[in-house]
Amino acid sequence: MTPAPASRRFPSLCHWGAFTATVENGRLVGCTPFPRDPAPSPMLAALPAMVHSPLRITRPAVREGWREGKPRTGHDAFREISWDEALDLVAGELTRVHAAHGPTAVFGGSYGWSSAGRVHHARTLVRRFLALGGGFVDQIANYSFGAAQTLLPHILGTFQPVTGRATDWPSVISNAKLMIAFGGLALKNSQVGSGGVGAHDTETWLRRARAAGVGFVNVSPVNADAPEFLDAEWIPIRPNTDVVLMLGMAHVLLSEGRHDTTFLERYCAGFDRFADYLVGKTDGTAKTPEWAEEICGVPAQKIRELARRAADVPTYMTATWSLQRAHHGEQPYWALITLAAMLGGIGLPGQGFGFGHGSIHGPGLPRLSLPGPEIPPPPNPAKCAIPVARIADMLLDPGGTYEFNGERLTYPDIRLVYWAGGNPFHHHQDLNRLQRAFQKPETVIVHESWWTPTARHADIVLPATTTLERNDVGGTSRDPFVFAMHKAIAPVGEAKNDIDIFAALAERLGYAEAFTQGRDEMAWCRLVYQGIRDGAAKKGIDLPSFQQFWAEGVIELPAPERDYVLMEEFRADPVAHRLGTPSGKIEITSDVVQRFGYDDAPPHPAWLPPAEWLGATEAQRFPLHLLTNQPVRRLHSQTDPGPVSVAGKILGREAIRLAPDDAAARGLRDGDIVRVFNARGACLAGVVIDSGLAANVAVMPTGAWFDPSPSGDGLDVHGNPNVLTPDIGTSRLTQGSSAQSTLVEVEKFVGALPPIRAFDPPSLARDAAPV
């Protein structure tokens, strides 16, 4: 009998949950979910295969053809080099570009989710490294809620309500009778929290709400956006037209005198100007339910009923972040706040509005208001940043001007791109355009653990460890747990920790001390933990010593003594707790936004048709509205080659969901491979027929690894929908991502299926012996 291999267990964490890593013979063999987690994510099962995947980058590598200026195709060959050579190359390129062009020629925004561990958070580290090295061009806001992040300060004086700071579930459960969820409450999204999740309890809270008699309404093009146990009423809506439904409801409240005039006078500014728009004084069109029905497809009678119901019973309203990830995506958010103001429940227990309940783990979770574990990067001496989603515009148009939130700005001339902890060839829109934009810089440097599409577009690739290969501390302000993440296995291949790569580069560049501050890994872990401990101490909570925390692997912060209610203090005393807006009130009309004079961002909520939607002329050529939502089987593009994600593919391609009539009209059946296309590009996908979709709506999750066809015809053979999405800002006000405003056509794919190459490592030459 052979003895069982010695098995060791380590506490660990990723964005989709906490777990115990089981290690045998130096290999990760299993992930056992955190015992306190009532609904662990199935995505945990992808980790062992991913950590030991043949797609791991095991040695530093340089792209063949880089020095000769050959285009970056995503399928180039690489040559492996030693760490010494690689670090000299990177330090040399940074020095050369800084000397010749200054810090604004280095782009280091490096957007992306990186790891749940906060010491080794790659994006934070690259910004820290570049800031201390003289500066760089950064990225501000995010793809998640970029439009809201810039808009909400004009209306509420802060964007906190969009980050997940919401009225606690217990308050909603005891007080609300109706919850209207624009974009639904899909549990697939609450698998994930940036910085990790302790207990996945969104389902628990939703079930309690249902049991307490809260009625749910799911306003979404997708029925599956509400879990069945909610018995939600489904109101199918045309994508990107929620603002129209809300305006129709607002019109009912106003014309039937059901709006709360006292609340509007005391707590809001500019309702009268909005009312003039609502009744048609300003543009000759009254925003009646009949007007709304024509545009959003929801019957006028239904709009009336919903408005009356919301006025009759205590109502809580939420919207997913996806609503604002669309052209003119500010409008549904502004309209939702306005609608809640007209209903008068803002600041009362269980009423008013919130955001993100269907987007992420955490909104509504009772949690003490404490900062999560983090080490913010130092100030950037170059003082230059672009709105995150304007990256391709920046690369393609150096010196070009653009507008953003009241400012006219100029794009810098980028020579070097540095990315660690993100995958722009997943996250950005119009990837064929991004690929053209990526030809502009002289040098692209990427730290990655796997040969992702972004690593394949780099010139110098440095292999990074995964969280299992280092010690860290993880957690988020949206969750009451803080986790110790123990190093479970040795680095795979020659992979190094991002922090050590940057320290070695800083050493070569002469600022090692500033970068490391003399700390090693465990000293950083202690520092991060101490930050949480100090924050807790200020609230009178005594947390255990680092030693004890590290040994036990987890701490749980106590539950708050009373429910948090969004804007409760403002409601109680609007003078003492005036908002950070110019009027100190909720700005239903904003004079500041009016002064900007943007025709794509008026001073109050309004219907502005997006460039692409089912009512656009474009819809004659491309008659399906494509929603690219978050994937149920992975986090964005992470673990896409792993077993959990791959099990959801159809002949290796990403799935596209089509309504039965839309499929029948094109002669398509379940399992067919189709070409999804528009004027920007095309991708392959496998058909899934779904009777729970609004008419003319197609749904494809994001994150299939970009696999451009070698013929250069703009076809992605794997099913990455970002070859189809438009690369335009939400508006000049917020310049967010407009991913959800996409029209496409679908046709049966004929001919031999092209092979998927994204899951094979690139061709790798090796001319130096491993060190």
Catalytic residues: 111, 113
Site string for ligand MGD, 488-507 (x = CB under 6 A): ----------x---------
Does 423 participate in binding Mo ion (rule CB under 5 A)? no
The reply to whether 738 sits near ligand MGD by the rule CB under 6 A is no
x-or-dash string of contact with Mo ion, 92-131, rule CB under 5 A: ----------------------------------------
Indicate whether 628 belongs to the interface with Mo ion (CB under 5 A): no
Contact of residue 93 among ligand MGD, Mo ion, none (CB under 5-8 Å per partner type): none
Give yes or no for residue 322 binding ligand MGD (CB under 6 A): yes
Stretch that binds ligand MGD, among 53-61, 508-516, 581-589, 718-726 (CB under 6 A): 718-726
At residue 656, the 3 state secondary structure works out as strand
Site for ligand MGD in 693-712 (CB under 6 A): 702
Q: Tell me whether residue 250 or residue 464 sits nearer to ligand MGD (CB atom).
A: 464
Token pair belonging to 716: 């992605």
Answer yes or no whether residue 221 interacts with ligand MGD by CB under 6 A.
yes
CA 702/CA 640 separation, integer angstroms: 10
Side by side, the strands of the sheet bearing 481-485 are: 472-475, 481-485, 554-556
Residue 144 or 190 with smaller CB distance to Mo ion: 144
Residue with tokens 């549904």: 332
d(CA 738, CA 725): 8
Q: Which of residues 151-190 bind Mo ion (CB under 5 A)?
A: none
DSSP summary character for residue 599: T
Provide CB contacts within 8 A for 720, sequence distance 6+. 426, 431, 654, 683, 702, 703, 704, 705, 706, 707
Beta bridge partners of 420: 447
Token pair recorded at residue 557? 């912060």
DSSP string over 530-568:
HHHHHHHHHTT--PPPHHHHHHH-EEEPPPPSS---TTH
What SS3 string covers 241-268? CHHHHHHHHHHHHHHCCCCCHHHHHHHE
Residue 144 binds Mo ion (CB under 5 A): yes
Region from 141-149, 160-168, 453-461, 579-587 binding Mo ion, contact rule CB under 5 A: 141-149
Question: Could you say which of 167, 725, 730, 734 contacts ligand MGD (CB under 6 A)?
Answer: 725
> Interacting stretch for ligand MGD, rule CB under 6 A, among 179-187, 340-348, 573-581, 744-752?
179-187
Partner in contact with 479, chosen from Mo ion, ligand MGD, none, beta carbon below 5 to 8 Å by kind = none
In angstroms, rounded to a whole number, what is the distance separating the alpha carbons of residues 489 and 466?
10
Report how far residue 364's alpha carbon sits from residue 201's, in angstroms, rounded to the nearest whole number. 11
Q: Is 364 in the site for ligand MGD (CB under 6 A)?
A: no
740: partner contacted, choices Mo ion, ligand MGD, none (Cβ within 5-8 A by kind): ligand MGD
Q: Which two tokens stand for residue 535?
A: 């924050």
d(CA 154, CA 582): 8
Q: Which stretch binds ligand MGD (CB under 6 A): 185-193, 398-406, 704-712, 728-736?
A: 185-193
DSSP 145: T
Nearer to Mo ion, 133 or 164 (CB): 164
Residue 69 zone, left/alpha/beta (φ > 0; ψ -120 to 50; rest): left
Q: Is 325 an interacting residue with respect to ligand MGD (CB under 6 A)?
A: yes
Element (H, E) at 435: helix 431-437
CA distances from 453 to 74, 342, 524, 533, 640 (A): 6, 48, 31, 40, 11
Q: H helices then E strands: how many in the chain?
A: 24, 31
Please tell me whether residue 189 binds ligand MGD under the rule CB under 6 A: yes
Identify residues 417-446 at the interface with ligand MGD (CB under 6 A). 420-423, 426-427
- Binding to ligand MGD (CB under 6 A) within 23-42 occurs at none
Q: Which is nearer to Mo ion, 189 or 223 (CB)?
A: 189
Taking the least distance from each CB to ligand MGD, the nearer of 34 and 145 is: 145
Residue 635 within binding range of ligand MGD, rule CB under 6 A: yes
Q: Which of residues 571-630 bind ligand MGD (CB under 6 A)?
A: 627-630
- What is the contact mask toward ligand MGD in residues 55 to 94, using x (rule: CB under 6 A)? ----------------------------------------
Give the bridge partners for 13, in sequence order. 18
Q: Give the distance from CA 642 to its chain's centroid.
A: 21
Residues that bind ligand MGD (CB under 6 A): 112-115, 120, 122, 143-144, 182-184, 186, 188-189, 191-192, 219-222, 225, 237, 239-240, 242, 320-323, 325, 358-360, 420-423, 426-427, 447-450, 452, 464, 498, 627-632, 635-638, 702, 721-722, 725, 739-740
Residues that bind Mo ion (CB under 5 A): 144
